[in-house]
Amino acid sequence: MISPTEKTPPPELLRGLKTLMLLRVLLISILLGALIFIQSRGALSHLGEIHTSHYLLLASVYFISIIYAFLLKYLNNITLQAYIQLLVDTIMITGLIYSTGGIESIFSFLYILSIFSGSILLYRRGGMIVASSSSIFYGLLLDLHYYGVIHPLGSRLIYPETYQSAYLFFTILANMTGFYLVGYLSSFLSEQARKNRVELRAKQLDVNRLEGLNESIIGSIASGLIVLDNHEKIILFNPSAEKIFGIKANNACGHLIGDRLPLFAEHSAGRKFLSTGLIDTKSSLPDLTHERPDGTKTDLRLSISPLLHSLGEQQGQILTLQDVTQIKQIEEEMKKVEGLAIIGELAAGMAHEIRNPMASISGSIEIIREGMEQNDVNVRLMDIILRETDRLNELVSDFLLFARPKRAKLTEFDLNQLILESLEFFQNSPLWNSKIEIFTSFPYPVKVKSDPDQLKQVLWNLFLNACDAMGGGGELHITSALVPGPPESGSEKAKIVIRDTGEGFDEKGLRHLFLPFFTTKERGSGLGLAIVKRIVDRLEGKISGANHPGGGAEITILLPVNGYEIVKSCPS
């Protein structure tokens, strides 16, 4: 905030000085023109006989004005220049009075103009200083003239003593009183004008600051903001509204909302708003669907409030449009997830119940089979039943593992050692293909806090898939490392990469890689990779699959090292 008592800013004083110089030259030019006219007509005037000294006096004003212009350009002290100009003006006015009769001159009023200039440029101090100098010069001139010390040009009096001393004293006193009174009153008005100007400037700065803040707030609002007047014309269209509708503010403001945004003329909620100006939003906010020029649809939630005057009178409407496209997509996904969760719980319960009669069937077949001869055809049929029952039981077990994964039991362990143990266990199983060569790369120990049993299940399924992909033999590459996590987490991640040299994934396989019941194997269940992803997700990790540039498939797993996230998501 600027103080009301602040000094005159140099730029303002500089403008005042330039104006004073212009008016001074203009006034002298008028006087010079009048002198030339009077001289040409041969008439007498209050100037008396026009002498060469009059022209020299006027010419000196032009010359001094040139000096002033030079000083303004090269002298930085503007205040000092103002005092010099005002003082020289009083001297020039005194010279004019001297050349036009002294006591008889009518040009004493010019002192008042100089006092006005001092008050306007330098306020009270300037006005009173010019009033004092004017009083001194004028009084001294009249006294010297009265006592015959000087003989002003153009004076008609041979003996100025014919004036009574009382009259001379009264003339000097009246003019001096007028000078000081004019100086005081004009400086008072000038001071008030200066205070008002400074306060106005301070308020203007505050207004500009508030306007800038208001524009910043409106421009930073993520929701679209449209303000209408009482005639449904757009008077404000913020950047978010520009982004939503693809229309620039300068093309929207000043136009009817129905012309620029047909959405409000086509949608039921919009038609209601245009017809009544009101929408009942107590129960729920109306949703609009806007189709952009590129064909994409945006779901918008509309909120309407009145634009009120300071006196409470309504002057229009404020429309707030929030882009809820992602929110609606999330809501739809949540509904799907909830539906799938219910179906999953139901399916898991049914699968659990199926296992009991399957166990009874398998046991009964075993007993019946033992009482039959080995070459009986029914024995072979029963073997088929037992084999398919085991396969069905294995499928149900996998499905239960997918639908109801175990709760994570966190333990700190060496990830490299766990991989080696799982690999050794798989190599000793009947599922291992001895034609496969194993290449491991463990540059340094990797300590993690996770569930080792569930990670063994993950590795088993991935080893099994790799062996199936390399039926004729190949290479199995396994690497582990510590990698930086995302910037928002600030923690490291444990990375496991398992790559085979098989045929890799086809395009359809990559799209449906971790979907349950999708498989390219003849007798596969399609739950292997789905179980792997489900377990990794439960362990707060991430898994991805791709084809390696050198051939074959590659699965990458990222796991948290400290397991803190798992503790939060899996309470005991």
* CATH number where 283 lies: 3.30.450.20
Q: How many CB atoms lie within 10 A of CB 291?
A: 10
Per-chain mean pLDDT for the chain: 76
Residues 151 and 95 in one domain: yes
Q: Write the pLDDT tens digit of every residue in 44-58.
A: 554 455 566 667 777
Given this model, what pLDDT does residue 122 score?
Answer: 84
Same domain, 471 and 350: no
Gap between the Cα atoms of 533 and 555, Å rounded = 11
pLDDT above 80: residue 112: yes
**23 and 87, same structural domain?**
yes
**Does residue 434 sit in the same domain as residue 527?**
yes
- The residue written with tokens 């996904």 in the block is 333
Question: Which of 278, 305, 323 delimits the end of a domain?
Answer: 323
Region 434-459 average pLDDT: 86
Let me know if residue 210 belongs to a domain: no
Residue 266 lies in a domain: yes
Ranges of beta strands (E only) in 147-264 are 224-229, 234-237
Residues 6+ apart with CB under 8 A from 509: 520
Contact 530, 513 (CB under 8 A): no
Tell whether the model's pLDDT for residue 572 goes beyond 60: no
> Which tokens belong to 108?
């004493």
Q: Which of 475, 446, 345, 526 is nearest to 455 (CA)?
A: 446
Which of the listed residues 367, 385, 402 is the one where a domain comes to its end? Answer: 402
Q: Measure Cα distances from 569 to 91, 400, 492, 536 in Å.
A: 94, 21, 19, 13
Identify whether 439 is part of a domain.
yes
Which of 66-70, 172-176, 259-263 shows the highest mean pLDDT? 172-176
Percent of the chain surpassing pLDDT 70: 70
Same-domain pairing of 418 and 443: yes
Q: Are residues 95 and 127 in the same domain?
A: yes
Residues 246 and 351 in one domain: no
Contact between 517 and 526 under an 8 Å Cβ cutoff? The reply is yes
Query: In this structure, are residues 426 and 432 in contact, taking their beta carbons and an 8 Å threshold?
Result: yes
**What are the DSSP calls for 256-301, one per residue?**
BHHHH-THHHHSHHHHHHHHHS----SS---EEEEE-TTS-EEEEE
Chain position carrying tokens 């085979």: 500
Task: Report the alpha-carbon distance of residue 273 to residue 304 in Å, rounded.
Answer: 9
Same domain, 238 and 150: no
> Would 1 be classed as within a structural domain?
no
Residue 242 shares a structural domain with residue 388: no
Question: Does 55 map to a domain?
Answer: yes
* Number of domains present in the structure of the chain: 4
Domain annotation covers residue 380: yes
For the CA atoms of 71, 72, 74, 76, the dihedral, rounded to the nearest 10 degrees, stands at 110
pLDDT score, position 390 = 67
Residue 197 shares a structural domain with residue 237: no
Which contacts (CB < 8 Å, 24+ apart) does range 173-176 have? 175/108, 175/111, 175/135, 175/138, 176/135, 176/138, 176/139
pLDDT at 571: 38
Domain membership of residue 206 (yes or no) is no
Statement: residue 120 has pLDDT above 70: yes
CATH number at residue 480: 3.30.565.10
pTM, two decimals, is: 0.43
Residues 6+ away with beta carbon under 8 Å from 316: 227, 228, 229, 230, 235, 306, 307
pLDDT for 46 equals: 47
Separation between Cα atoms, residue 495 and residue 556, nearest integer Å: 7
Q: What is the pLDDT of residue 502?
A: 84
Residue 537 lies in a domain: yes
Say yes or no: 394 and 422 in one domain.
no
Looking at this protein, which amino acid is placed at residue 443? P
Q: Which of 307, 323, 339 is the last residue of a domain?
A: 323
Q: Is there a single domain that holds both residue 391 and residue 496?
A: no
Cα–Cα distance, 17 to 60 (Å, whole number):
18
Task: Say yes or no to pLDDT of 357 above 80.
Answer: no
Name the token pair of 232.
């449904």
Q: Tell me the residue range of the domain where 255 lies.
A: 221-323
pLDDT, tens digit, for every residue of 453-475?
Answer: 888 888 888 888 888 888 788 88
